[in-house]
Amino acid sequence: MTTKVFVDGQEGTTGLRIFEYLANRDDVEVLRIDEAQRKDVAARRALINASDVTFLCLPDVASRESASLVDNPKTCVIDASTAFRIDDHWAYGLPELSKAQRERLRTAKRIAVPGCHASAFILAAQPLVAAGIVPADTPLAAYSLTGYSGGGKKMIAEYEAGAEKLTSPRAYALGLQHKHLPEMKVRSGLTIAPTFTPIVANFYKGLAVTTYLHPSQLPGKITPARVRDTLAEYYAGEAFIHVAPLDDAHNLDEGFFDVQACNDTNRVDLFVFGNEERIVTVARLDNLGKGASGAAIQCMNLHIGADEGKGL
């Protein structure tokens, strides 16, 4: 059976990447809108309701508008904006969050794809909160190092123009109100949003979120081995989550961490570094893959009953 798919916002970075994932699928029929009608509400409404699955790759306001156009109860909407990520009426598009989450995605007609920074943070933090290693009221701190493709077309053009000021990494969102914070708090099980600073650097894609843990501020005896084993047990059997062994020579490249090693995959690599006094977790992914379009396709696969990794 062929699944009819429409991408609303087909010219953006996420939309274009979704088209790449779908290009070689023999089980999908892509519905395309004429370029001149991209902003025509009636034309978009018709295609959304003719589809089995519609991906929304739009800013928040536009996503809300498109979601309101759905009349067909059989249409599944998979939204890539921040508009619905903490809305309980929408399933959060992170199957690995729990076994129940995967089952919800199979039946949900409204799915919110996680943010790239949020995916990495949550996948490292949520199992530790669930296990009681990190109490829910712990004020965690984290930073993310990311490629410039996450900033969209304007930022990509600026970097590719080669401006000298863009050669060094740049921290941003220093008002500490990054748009991913609400989902980072809610979906990890925390009651306090983390202190979070993202940093964009002069490479196209790849992302790693580092989160700090201070054993002296946590209950019980917390060691790197205990943190690592907790993550490994939680994600046992997950095809897209790899928890690295402690102190493995392959974790680093001559002492340095490779942020881009998950590029062109839907994989998330989780690492634990440190000692009994100080510990960090590092979660690495492709910000255009598992951090955006790959996650959207994974959710679609679950919803339509295809193999979860098909096309990924």
Do 211 and 279 belong together in one domain?
yes
Q: Nearest CA to 140 among 187, 198, 206, 184?
A: 184
Query: How confident is the model at residue 182, as a pLDDT?
Result: 96
Q: What is the CATH number of the domain that holds 65?
A: 3.40.50.720
Q: How many CB atoms lie within 10 A of CB 23?
A: 10
Any domain includes 135: yes
Query: How confident is the model at residue 267, as a pLDDT?
Result: 97
Q: Is the pLDDT of residue 51 over 90?
A: yes
Do 101 and 190 belong together in one domain?
no
**Region 122-149: what's the mean pLDDT?**
96
Do 9 and 86 belong together in one domain?
yes
Any domain includes 87: yes
Query: How confident is the model at residue 154, as a pLDDT?
Result: 85
Assign 164 a pLDDT band (cuts: 50, 70, 90): confident
**Region 231-238: what's the mean pLDDT?**
97
Which strands, in side-by-side order, build the sheet including 28-31? Answer: 28-31, 3-8, 53-56, 76-79, 110-112, 91-92
Any domain includes 262: yes
Q: Nearest CA to 141 among 239, 212, 236, 227?
A: 212
Any domain includes 311: no
Contact present, 273 and 252 (Cβ < 8 Å)? no
**Region 226-244: what's the mean pLDDT?**
97
Do 296 and 201 belong together in one domain?
no
Tell me what percent of the chain is helix, strand and coil, each rounded to the nearest 5: 35, 20, 40
Query: How confident is the model at residue 180, as a pLDDT?
Result: 94
**Region 161-176: what's the mean pLDDT?**
90
* pLDDT tens readout for residues 70-117: 999 999 999 999 999 999 999 999 999 988 999 999 999 999 999 999
Do 43 and 168 belong together in one domain?
no
Considering its fold, how many domains does the chain have in total?
Answer: 2
Any domain includes 238: yes
Query: How confident is the model at residue 40, as a pLDDT?
Result: 80
Question: Angle at which helices 181-188 and 116-130 pack, to 10 degrees?
Answer: 20
Do 62 and 41 belong together in one domain?
yes
Query: How confident is the model at residue 140, as a pLDDT?
Result: 97
Q: Which two tokens stand for residue 276?
A: 């009994």
Any domain includes 264: yes
Q: Concatenated DSSP letters for 1-39?
A: -PEEEEEETTTSHHHHHHHHHHTT-SSEEEE---GGGTT
CA angle 18, 20, 25 (to 5 degrees): 95
Three-state helix/strand/coil letters over 199-235: EEECCCCCEEEEEEECHHHCCCCCCHHHHHHHHHHHC
Q: Is the pLDDT of residue 34 over 90?
A: no
Average pLDDT taken over every residue of the chain: 94
Do 273 and 244 belong together in one domain?
yes
Do 205 and 257 belong together in one domain?
yes
Do 167 and 59 belong together in one domain?
no
Any domain includes 101: yes
Ramachandran region, residue 132 (left: φ > 0; alpha: ψ -120 to 50; beta: rest): left
Domain extent at residue 26? 3-114+291-304
Q: What is the CATH number of the domain that holds 125?
A: 3.30.360.10
Do 157 and 277 belong together in one domain?
yes
**Region 120-137: what's the mean pLDDT?**
97
Select which of 76, 116, 262, 299 is catalytic.
116
Active-site residue flag, 116: yes
Do 138 and 253 belong together in one domain?
yes
Do 66 and 132 belong together in one domain?
no
* pLDDT tens readout for residues 271-299: 999 999 999 999 999 999 999 999 999 99
Q: What's the whole-model pTM score?
A: 0.94
Q: Is the pLDDT of residue 166 over 80?
A: yes
